[in-house]
Structure 1
């Protein structure tokens, strides 16, 4: 009887831990998608140039992605519960402060601090690896993926409703209240865990990696406004390359690196990293671009745009659980690769839908994209943790989340720059004989179009009618979708090659993989 009671209590504790981690994880897609939906309203209220408005999302994504590995190392060193608690508490305070931001500059700075807080919540995902084994772990991470799906599904709708009803500031109040619930009711019951062999934070690696990521992303964001050949953009990109080289050199020479580069000799590890990168280009960028298109270009109000976004994000409510069931019979690589091909088909269907089309014409391609992406989405976290001993789960979670979140930030910057460049080319087609002065205004107008600000684009370039500007945007958006389709198909092929031969249910098992060699201070592949 005593053993049964103990077992029941342990199961109850695990359920509380899972609930706390999932509730805190819910704030991340709310922070991500809420800022995107609110951007047009923030622009109308506080003003700001295209770079500042783009930074509403990118200022959050940069530290969120750049500090994931450092957060994982800190969680292994000082305790997953402790780091997780600090992150949730800081997110609560900063989100509340965002609701009082007086201008775009302060808003962007607070969004960066909010990204730091979000990054330190990686200890929560690592804690799950200590509590669950086998298929229970698969189900736990599937639940985590489903929670992200709930946030992605209802985040745009909630943000649209709050913006339309109470103003954009209420979005950040809602995020603070959600984080506060996890802090008050869930965190006190979490069990502390850490890596007994942890050797502390790799400060040189952290600083060089974060610096490289920041410089690269700012360079990409600045390029549409300053030009790719400008000294500022060239300096930023050159600095990013220099810091990246320094980071690789540092990580190969220290005993306990933040990023164990020898992991990249394992094809399964590389295959897992492909999954979040692919989801960035077939799904995540659309969470930002589509609200801007629907609200800023096509004239939807925030609530209608949020309802329409449900077609893209609602599959995340159920598909991750379906993926966890499928991998008991089919390898995770096959399930994930097929999902990416389905997403590519949805992108192709969406490319055939022009501006002004009915909502019904948009629903089916968006559902396909969401369904296809949901298959690998529900497996990625569990796969990443399964590749290392659970004592180093913080490192594994940090590496994977860095790939996912930093990839999202980079993808958003790259896709935004591509859309601006494609819009610029389309507008030059309307004014083929533009002089240097008009060309500069075309560049500025295209940058405004890429952020969904049709009104500002028309003021900058009055020579072109609003209808022609909209048509130029539509042409650019279609060409962008073709690029995203190509990236998604190539990623699917890579996943088939790298993960397709794994046995079924690999995501739920502690499979042989990279193991840490304490004597050599390196991971070795079995």
Structure 2
């Protein structure tokens, strides 16, 4: 008899010690994942300084390679998350969790010894794939080990751990760079996942979905290639130009692959993405929430440290301390949001939070003109605004569809969140570089290639190499051009966030019976993502 089926029919409450060990295994892994994301962003300038020069001052770090330090991780993580969940159902949740952790540890150790930027980028892609397996397998296994209120508390602890990693990831990365090396960031993630691996191997029980029928490989391949083509095209656009043949070819390929993915999913007997769910208006509204938080919150976790360290000249540890103002509200505000739903609908609370975040982004665009430390108050407002929907959208993702569709709904939601983060980062970096090039062209003479290269290096947080490409521009001119472009980007992010707030209010604003707790959804459906 399948163990997962018998466990679902006859729930077994683990003893306190074993249950704590299981929860610790998954939560420690969940703590390492945000550190791998935000820590890599904070470490980017240091990695560029260390690996960008190949022995001569003339050979400078490629800004495209620097962008891939974060984008490679997010791309593989987002595109493979649903496939990893299907593998966990088919071959075993514990097995996929353990293999994912082992791969993450190996990649982390290799990153700590990486000799070149190319090696870092390739290893970050492999690390993202391992993270997808660890997250999908770990959360599915956790759902099988706990039932009822114990499951609610366990997933609450898991969410709090993610919040802890987001809140203090930049600070931890800054401290490690200040007192050790950027390599210590990846080494610490490997050590954390080693502890998780030990506990998970010993205490987790294996479980499978007895009804799993295989992996939608055509859909997975089309989805991954579509995301990869779009991301690569957007990253290359600032260097080669948006109208260049390679960029247009990549973007066209992305559109064609996306259409192919839709066709494959419509014809698949067991699709990775059930398109029929998009017939529910409230389900569509829920998908807007992770997109909104990507643009008002996640993007800042990456692009703002690059500015603070590379352009404003802060040390990594000081930039990490400043970033706590943005991410610390994630530890408290989600609980406040849950309390507010006693009086307001979840959609209203989420929309109100997005409006606050948009106001904070506009405030930040003005405050940064007075210096980096003037950003503390607007960053806190952005963090509070983003944390309001953050604490509710996971529950909404399963409450706005019939209960029997909850597993697929959470899978789509998770993929929208993680893949959206990668796309948002690539797009914002490309737009920032393009705007910086435009402002530089208005201020200093220079050929298009030099202006483009200088702008790309400024956008990656490296004004020294930008000055090497555009020596006629002084440091002040470069900084002002970048600051003006950064302010325009913040206003654009505010506009996107406000638009998302309007859509969320329209689709999710009314209080309905669909607003139920995630614990009301059967365990077999909730864990499939």
- TM-score norm. by structure 1 comes to 0.90
C-alpha deviation, 1:470, in angstroms: 0.5
Change (3 A) 1:8 1:75: closer
More deviation, 21-30/306-315 = 21-30
* Match of residue 336 from structure 2: 322
Contact 1:340 1:489 in 2 (8 A): yes
* Match of residue 438 from structure 1: 447
Partner Cα separation in structure 1 for residue 298 and residue 164 of structure 2: 14
Counterpart pick for 1:189 among 203, 211, 214 = 203
More deviation, 414-423/138-147 = 138-147
Gaps of 5+ in 1: 1-5, 517-526
Contact 2:290 2:420 in 1 (8 A): yes
Matched, 1:456 2:480: no
C-alpha deviation, 1:77, in angstroms: 1.9
Partner Cα separation in structure 1 for residue 70 and residue 498 of structure 2: 27
Partner Cα separation in structure 1 for residue 91 and residue 164 of structure 2: 31
Partner Cα separation in structure 1 for residue 89 and residue 409 of structure 2: 10
Which string of whole-angstrom CA distances, capped at 9 and with x for unpartnered residues, describes residues 235-261 of structure 1? Answer: 111111111111100000011101111
C-alpha deviation, 1:13, in angstroms: 5.2
Contact 1:68 1:399 in 2 (8 A): no
More deviation, 328-337/312-321 = 328-337
* Match of residue 175 from structure 2: 161
Matched, 1:372 2:374: no
Matches within 5 A, 1:305-384: 305-355=319-369, 357=371, 359=373, 361-384=374-397
Contact 2:216 2:271 in 1 (8 A): yes
More deviation, 205-214/438-447 = 438-447
Counterpart pick for 2:89 among 65, 72, 76 = 76
Counterpart pick for 1:94 among 102, 107, 114 = 107
Counterpart pick for 1:122 among 127, 130, 136 = 136
Gaps of 5+ in 2: 1-10, 53-60
Partner SS for 2:465: helix
C-alpha deviation, 1:393, in angstroms: 6.2
Question: Alignment RMSD, CA only?
Answer: 2.4
Which string of whole-angstrom CA distances, capped at 9 and with x for unpartnered residues, describes residues 361-393 of structure 1? Answer: 211100111111111112223333445688876
C-alpha deviation, 1:101, in angstroms: 0.2
> How many residues are aligned here?
505
Partner Cα separation in structure 2 for residue 329 and residue 80 of structure 1: 39
* Match of residue 267 from structure 1: 281
Partner Cα separation in structure 2 for residue 21 and residue 30 of structure 1: 15
Partner Cα separation in structure 1 for residue 341 and residue 90 of structure 2: 33
- TM-score norm. by structure 2 comes to 0.90
* Match of residue 49 from structure 2: 44
Partner SS for 1:354: helix
Partner Cα separation in structure 1 for residue 403 and residue 19 of structure 2: 16
C-alpha deviation, 1:308, in angstroms: 0.6
Partner Cα separation in structure 1 for residue 344 and residue 457 of structure 2: 46
Partner Cα separation in structure 2 for residue 489 and residue 266 of structure 1: 23
More deviation, 311-320/409-418 = 311-320
More deviation, 202-211/261-270 = 261-270
* Match of residue 144 from structure 1: 158
Partner Cα separation in structure 1 for residue 513 and residue 196 of structure 2: 34
